[in-house]
A and B are shown apart, each in its own frame.
Chain A
């Protein structure tokens, strides 16, 4: 494995003002691995510890516990006491704020890491030009950061992180300051450049769609713990708990009891019903909204519970107030054990 993170833990002291400082577990024994040339997406709500983990890999935070290995090299270990400083870890890091130096032009920003590595002038210039070209900013070299748009700044930051061909590139919510359409365009570009250059990456985001788009592997974090780790396919098909299912987009949730043999389902909202067979009049259409190429319905079930459903525009469209049938298809449902 190219990056190995083993049982990394980190606590912060929460400053309480008048009350004494409380320890707060930002990371609790996290273990994940990334293969060479693959992208790991760390995803989770804010406060889940994803950025802390990234900063631990970069060496900008020091874990309290655990080991981190990059390319077979132990960069941090509480066992051996190793702790390679950030500048010796040979990483690229792209910040949410881009962190372009305001006193340098785009070109100088990108050239900075090469100059620190004493790359000869001619080669330096060629590499800077090549990387500006790679991110589609070849013509912006002599601009200062404040003369660039958000998207352009983000691309320059990408070029700066790639120009010295680091073994690992870390991306900390690189697109969250951009508007939706630009974000979609740039995530495609990042994915393409990652495939083309073949760097190993760790990509932090709070957006599940973005994580599944750029990640070869996805690690879902919550409250400092690793909740699920796998390929996007695995996670999407088999969220290992109800919270993950909700996070990856399952929107309707119903609690009930499976009948003996699994042929029926009993719950308060629907009564006892056979699985896979439609139940006429089980729900009323409350609202219909056009979302992209689908209609999204808000349905009200018995007892006032609301579900959401989508359907293709070419199928029958229902109007608010109409009564519809519902069917529970066993393979469309994810089942999690309840309190019993």
Chain B
């Protein structure tokens, strides 16, 4: 750190924190703040005659546009209504009760992050399509129903809400599980000693302690729901449900009108950013449970007669949300023919072989792999440096840098794509039309996750470990490389892997930015689907999911190795 000095130049150096600080500030300003500001600025262009809000009026003239606003609000709220209690209940069962297999299954709801919502939606369509959905066929055969359609319908609101709920659960489950695991048993025992029964303790002590974590999960889950693109895109046609993200896509893709799209994006972002600021507030002041080196002492709640039903609930959730749609896709991809007699076909790998020749299929896998790897890597490197400076060196500028870098958390991913489009088409950095714009958008998209993970990791490593390195004569960078990074290998690797998976499956950021050369796998999947080649879409979904799952497995394995070594 620099000595206190009175010259203005030195004062500025202290505030900015040297060249690294200046570079970081420029990077987040250019790649995070500038595109978002451009997006907003371009919506206020009007017609040049002083009509400031013309574009906004234009965006909301059609009845479909208005209904997309209500659709987003409705879908988000109803998903939270179902998803949050379910997630908290699942977290409580796996973390705090003696339900069978609870410990084994504890990580799985988080794992369902690896299942792309696009793949999930296609999977459920395969099961529940009115005419030839496998589940419908099976139901009709079992109950001898003499109808051509149904009894169930994939293109319906209940199915959409169910899939949205599956998608939401991991976002709330994660923080809730962590919080449940950290509640020290002595707190609950103290309540019992004071005469409170088990249920009473749950409602008066345990849940209030967890409230901040649950609220935080709910807020961020709400942002994710309001940003959801893939599920309504596949399943909402014919239901009368419209949502803002798909409406933005239609404005650009069908009508070629960027103005109204940007106006809608700005309004949506204003709401989600407000939710994010609230989320930071909740995290900032309300977290009663803190991470300590040792886990808190825990006593499991005996469920007695409810043991098996509780365990079964967790298993059914995993089965329905993960196994069922994937199994349907796997089966369809091997059958190779989607029709009324889907159950009497021979199985082969023909569809997978055909994928090789499908335009963009292989290119998409290749592109997504390197784009996601690069985006996740850049985000992690930047996020780690920003987080390290904010927590360890704390120059005044670092708080500003960290704040800007965390903004993308509150911006729906399709809006991030649109912002990149607004910021980097022409101008001083004409990245649009190259693969680089995807790398940039991906890195920006994952920057908050990378930073949060680095924060969590750094908070677990006592600063004394680094000070010990300094005292031994090592430089700050040396200490970071030789002490900090090895100690943080596990959380950083996990953060990279999570970012990779989220980017690998990303569709809403990419769909406005890709070029014929940089088609990502999700867009390739969508084009296979759009051409009506359902068996190919099923096979491609399986391939994409296998790659994601392999990355998850690789990370869990190497994290174990890091733990053991």
Question: Chain B CB within 10 Å — which of A62, A91, A101, A112 has the most?
Answer: A101
Residue A113 CB within 8 A of the other chain: yes
Q: A62-B1, A81-B3, A81-B5 are in contact. Are A101 and B465 (CB under 8 A)?
A: yes
- In the complex, per-residue mask of B425-454: 1 if CB is within 8 Å of any chain A CB, else 0: 000000000000000000000000000000
Q: Could you tell me if A86 and B470 are in contact, using CB atoms closer than 8 angstroms?
A: yes
Q: Could you tell me if B486 and A99 are in contact, using CB atoms closer than 8 angstroms?
A: no
Q: Could you tell me if B483 and A101 are in contact, using CB atoms closer than 8 angstroms?
A: yes
Residue A164 CB within 8 A of the other chain: yes
Bound together, the chains give a CA A170 to CA B467 distance in angstroms of 13
* 8 Å CB contact of B472 from A62, A78, A83, A116: A116
What residue of chain B has the Cβ atom nearest to residue A170's Cβ? B471
Q: Could you tell me if A117 and B465 are in contact, using CB atoms closer than 8 angstroms?
A: no
* 8 Å CB contact of B471 from A78, A86, A117: A86
- In the complex, per-residue mask of B456-477: 1 if CB is within 8 Å of any chain A CB, else 0: 0000001011011111111100
Q: Could you tell me if B486 and A103 are in contact, using CB atoms closer than 8 angstroms?
A: yes
Q: A62-B1, A62-B3, A116-B478 are in contact. Are A99 and B472 (CB under 8 A)?
A: no
What residue of chain A has the Cβ atom nearest to residue B488's Cβ? A103
Residue B4 CB within 8 A of the other chain: yes
Q: A93-B468, A164-B472 are in contact. Are A99 and B3 (CB under 8 A)?
A: no
With both chains docked as a complex, state the minimum distance between the C-beta of A203 and any C-beta of chain B, in angstroms.
Answer: 15
Q: Which residues of B contact A103 (CB under 8 A)?
A: 483, 486-487, 489, 565
Q: Which residues of A contact B1 (CB under 8 A)?
A: 62, 83
Bound together, the chains give a CA A90 to CA B471 distance in angstroms of 7
- Which residues of A78-94 are within 8 A (CB) of B? 78, 81-83, 85-93
Residue A95 CB within 8 A of the other chain: yes
Q: Which residues of B contact A327 (CB under 8 A)?
A: none
Q: Could you tell me if B3 and A95 are in contact, using CB atoms closer than 8 angstroms?
A: no
- In the complex, per-residue mask of A101-138: 1 if CB is within 8 Å of any chain B CB, else 0: 11100000000110011000000000000000000000
Q: A87-B475, A116-B473 are in contact. Are A62 and B467 (CB under 8 A)?
A: no
- Which residues of B485-515 are within 8 A (CB) of A? 486-487, 489
Q: Which residues of A contact B2 (CB under 8 A)?
A: 83
Q: Could you tell me if A95 and B468 are in contact, using CB atoms closer than 8 angstroms?
A: yes
Bound together, the chains give a CA A5 to CA B19 distance in angstroms of 33
* 8 Å CB contact of A101 from B468, B478, B489: B468
Bound together, the chains give a CA A162 to CA B469 distance in angstroms of 14
Q: Which residues of B contact A322 (CB under 8 A)?
A: none
Q: Which residues of B contact A92 (CB under 8 A)?
A: 471
Bound together, the chains give a CA A58 to CA B1 distance in angstroms of 13
With both chains docked as a complex, state the minimum distance between the C-beta of B314 and any C-beta of chain A, in angstroms.
Answer: 32
Q: Could you tell me if B462 and A99 are in contact, using CB atoms closer than 8 angstroms?
A: yes
Q: Could you tell me if A90 and B487 are in contact, using CB atoms closer than 8 angstroms?
A: no
What residue of chain B has the Cβ atom nearest to residue A78's Cβ? B4
Bound together, the chains give a CA A196 to CA B79 distance in angstroms of 71
Q: A95-B468, A102-B487 are in contact. Are A117 and B462 (CB under 8 A)?
A: no
Residue A160 CB within 8 A of the other chain: yes
Query: Interface range on chain B: under 10, 10 to 19, 20 to 34, or 35 or more?
Result: 20 to 34
Q: Could you tell me if A87 and B467 are in contact, using CB atoms closer than 8 angstroms?
A: no
Residue A64 CB within 8 A of the other chain: yes
* 8 Å CB contact of A99 from B4, B465, B475, B478: B465
Residue A152 CB within 8 A of the other chain: no
Bound together, the chains give a CA A161 to CA B4 distance in angstroms of 29
Q: Which residues of A contact B473 (CB under 8 A)?
A: 87-88, 90, 113, 116-117, 164
Q: Could you tell me if B464 and A101 are in contact, using CB atoms closer than 8 angstroms?
A: no
Residue A60 CB within 8 A of the other chain: yes
Bound together, the chains give a CA A99 to CA B472 distance in angstroms of 12
Q: Could you tell me if B467 and A95 are in contact, using CB atoms closer than 8 angstroms?
A: yes
- In the complex, per-residue mask of A202-225: 1 if CB is within 8 Å of any chain B CB, else 0: 000000000000000000000000
Q: Which residues of A contact B472 (CB under 8 A)?
A: 87, 112-113, 116, 160, 164
Q: Which residues of B contact A52 (CB under 8 A)?
A: none
Question: Chain A CB within 10 Å — which of B2, B5, B462, B483 has the most?
Answer: B483
- In the complex, per-residue mask of A47-81: 1 if CB is within 8 Å of any chain B CB, else 0: 00000000000111010100000000000001001
Q: Could you tell me if B471 and A112 are in contact, using CB atoms closer than 8 angstroms?
A: no
Q: Which residues of A contact B487 (CB under 8 A)?
A: 101-103
With both chains docked as a complex, state the minimum distance between the C-beta of B316 and any C-beta of chain A, in angstroms.
Answer: 39
With both chains docked as a complex, state the minimum distance between the C-beta of A55 and any C-beta of chain B, in angstroms.
Answer: 8
Residue A189 CB within 8 A of the other chain: no
Question: Chain A CB within 10 Å — which of B467, B470, B471, B473 has the most?
Answer: B471
Bound together, the chains give a CA A89 to CA B310 distance in angstroms of 60
Bound together, the chains give a CA A58 to CA B4 distance in angstroms of 17
What residue of chain A has the Cβ atom nearest to residue B474's Cβ? A116
Q: Which residues of B contact A89 (CB under 8 A)?
A: 471
With both chains docked as a complex, state the minimum distance between the C-beta of B474 and any C-beta of chain A, in angstroms.
Answer: 5
Q: A97-B464, A99-B462 are in contact. Are A91 and B483 (CB under 8 A)?
A: no
With both chains docked as a complex, state the minimum distance between the C-beta of B478 and any C-beta of chain A, in angstroms.
Answer: 7
With both chains docked as a complex, state the minimum distance between the C-beta of B552 and any C-beta of chain A, in angstroms.
Answer: 24
Bound together, the chains give a CA A95 to CA B463 distance in angstroms of 11
Bound together, the chains give a CA A90 to CA B487 distance in angstroms of 25
What residue of chain A has the Cβ atom nearest to residue B466's Cβ? A99
Q: Could you tell me if A64 and B4 are in contact, using CB atoms closer than 8 angstroms?
A: yes
What residue of chain A has the Cβ atom nearest to residue B461's Cβ? A102
* 8 Å CB contact of A86 from B3, B467, B489: B467
With both chains docked as a complex, state the minimum distance between the C-beta of A118 and any C-beta of chain B, in angstroms.
Answer: 10
Bound together, the chains give a CA A59 to CA B2 distance in angstroms of 11
With both chains docked as a complex, state the minimum distance between the C-beta of A144 and any C-beta of chain B, in angstroms.
Answer: 9
Q: Which residues of A contact B565 (CB under 8 A)?
A: 103
Bound together, the chains give a CA A112 to CA B479 distance in angstroms of 11
Q: Could you tell me if B486 and A95 are in contact, using CB atoms closer than 8 angstroms?
A: no
Bound together, the chains give a CA A78 to CA B489 distance in angstroms of 40
Q: Which residues of A contact B465 (CB under 8 A)?
A: 99, 101-102
Q: Which residues of B contact A86 (CB under 8 A)?
A: 467, 470-471
Q: Could you tell me if B3 and A83 are in contact, using CB atoms closer than 8 angstroms?
A: yes
With both chains docked as a complex, state the minimum distance between the C-beta of A177 and any C-beta of chain B, in angstroms.
Answer: 13
Q: Which residues of A contact B3 (CB under 8 A)?
A: 62, 81-83
Bound together, the chains give a CA A164 to CA B472 distance in angstroms of 8
With both chains docked as a complex, state the minimum distance between the C-beta of A337 and any C-beta of chain B, in angstroms.
Answer: 41
What residue of chain A has the Cβ atom nearest to residue B565's Cβ? A103
Bound together, the chains give a CA A91 to CA B467 distance in angstroms of 12
Q: Could you tell me if A99 and B467 are in contact, using CB atoms closer than 8 angstroms?
A: yes
What residue of chain A has the Cβ atom nearest to residue B486's Cβ? A103
Bound together, the chains give a CA A113 to CA B479 distance in angstroms of 11
What residue of chain B has the Cβ atom nearest to residue A59's Cβ? B470
* 8 Å CB contact of A95 from B4, B464, B483: B464
Q: Which residues of A contact B474 (CB under 8 A)?
A: 87, 112-113, 116
Bound together, the chains give a CA A160 to CA B465 distance in angstroms of 13
Q: Which residues of B contact A90 (CB under 8 A)?
A: 473
Q: Which residues of B contact A91 (CB under 8 A)?
A: 471
What residue of chain A has the Cβ atom nearest to residue B562's Cβ? A103
Q: Which residues of A contact B469 (CB under 8 A)?
A: 101, 112
Q: Which residues of A contact B486 (CB under 8 A)?
A: 101, 103
- In the complex, per-residue mask of B4-19: 1 if CB is within 8 Å of any chain A CB, else 0: 1100000000000000
Question: Chain B CB within 10 Å — which of A86, A88, A100 has the most?
Answer: A86
* 8 Å CB contact of B470 from A62, A83, A87, A102: A87
With both chains docked as a complex, state the minimum distance between the C-beta of B481 and any C-beta of chain A, in angstroms.
Answer: 12
Bound together, the chains give a CA A147 to CA B186 distance in angstroms of 28
Q: A87-B475, A116-B478 are in contact. List 18 more A-B contacts (CB 8 A).
A: A58-B467, A58-B471, A62-B3, A64-B4, A86-B470, A87-B471, A87-B473, A92-B471, A95-B467, A97-B462, A99-B464, A99-B468, A101-B469, A101-B486, A103-B486, A113-B473, A116-B474, A164-B472
List 21 A-B pairs, Cβ < 8 Å.
A60-B467, A62-B1, A62-B3, A81-B3, A82-B3, A83-B1, A83-B3, A88-B473, A89-B471, A95-B464, A95-B468, A97-B464, A99-B465, A101-B465, A101-B469, A101-B487, A102-B465, A112-B472, A113-B474, A116-B473, A116-B478
Among all A-B residue pairs, the 9 with the closest Cβ atoms: A113-B472, A99-B464, A99-B468, A86-B470, A93-B471, A83-B3, A103-B486, A95-B464, A116-B473
